[in-house]
């Protein structure tokens, strides 16, 4: 497979961009990764990059977006922070991706068995981790309204991980007029998904 060019990027709709990620994850799960000459892709992208999507995911070592979506050099922007939470720098990076670099899709990717979500549910407080985990609190509050389960119940924690993705999507739209504006114009799409660390499967919320 070749690296994306401006022409291939321009030709994609947000829906087509999402389909590329879904198809890539299916290849990953089936262990049928695309044949790529990475050195060739280095040469192809030396004068520019044309990523079709920007993915916000957790720093968890099992959730590399390039791997689980079977993408190559220059294909996607990857923004990573524990708990896939949103902050000013993440928003700025996403805005650059969609407004100036031409990406068609903003994906918030949570995952099962997330250490940050688990720690937030257990009210861990330690150094700068405290402020980071505080950003997951809205998802915990939403989950608590849905269920009387204990916050250390594995099912509760997994629900928080899902709701944390929705919270991030809502925050992106609320705090970024650039992203929300482009989405309203139909030029981009903001979507959410959860990666299963046991199966390798990504479940998109549009399904």
Q: Using DSSP, how many helices (H) and how many strands (E) does the chain show?
A: 10, 5
In whole angstroms, how far apart are CA 55 and each of 37, 93, 161, 168, 207? 23, 11, 16, 12, 18
152 is in an annotated binding site: no
153 is in an annotated binding site: no
Question: For residue 156, what is the DSSP state?
Answer: H
Picking from 102, 97, 2, the residue whose alpha carbon sits closest to that of residue 43 is 2
114 is in an annotated binding site: yes
Q: 202-204 and 189-195 as β-strands: parallel, antiparallel, unpaired?
A: antiparallel
Integer Cα distance of 114 and 111 in angstroms: 6
Q: Where are the beta strands (DSSP E) in the chain?
A: 53-57, 76-80, 105-111, 189-195, 202-204
Q: Which residues are annotated as a binding site for Zn(2+)?
A: 58, 60, 111, 114
Q: Which residues are annotated as a binding site?
A: 58, 60, 111, 114
């Amino acid at each position: 497979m070749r690296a994306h060019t401006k022409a291939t990027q321009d030709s994609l709709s947000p829906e087509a961009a999402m389909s590329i990620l879904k198809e890539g994850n299916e290849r990953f799960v089936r262990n049928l990764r695309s044949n790529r000459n990475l050195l060739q892709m280095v040469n192809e992208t030396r004068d520019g990059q044309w990523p079709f999507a920007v993915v916000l995911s957790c720093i968890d070592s099992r959730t590399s977006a390039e791997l689980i979506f079977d993408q190559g050099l220059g294909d996607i922007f990857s923004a990573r922070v524990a708990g896939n939470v949103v902050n000013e720098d993440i928003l700025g990076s996403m805005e650059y991706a969609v407004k100036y670099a031409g990406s068609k899709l903003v994906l918030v990717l949570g995952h099962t068995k997330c250490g940050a979500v688990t720690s937030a549910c257990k009210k861990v407080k330690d150094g700068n981790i405290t402020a980071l985990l505080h950003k997951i609190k809205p998802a915990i509050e939403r989950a608590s309204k849905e269920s009387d389960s204990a916050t250390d119940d594995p099912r509760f924690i997994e629900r928080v991980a899902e709701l944390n993705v929705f919270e991030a999507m809502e925050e992106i739209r609320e705090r970024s007029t650039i992203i929300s504006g482009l989405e309203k114009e139909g030029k981009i799409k903001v979507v959410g998904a959860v990666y299963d660390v046991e199966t390798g499967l990504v479940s998109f919320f549009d399904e």
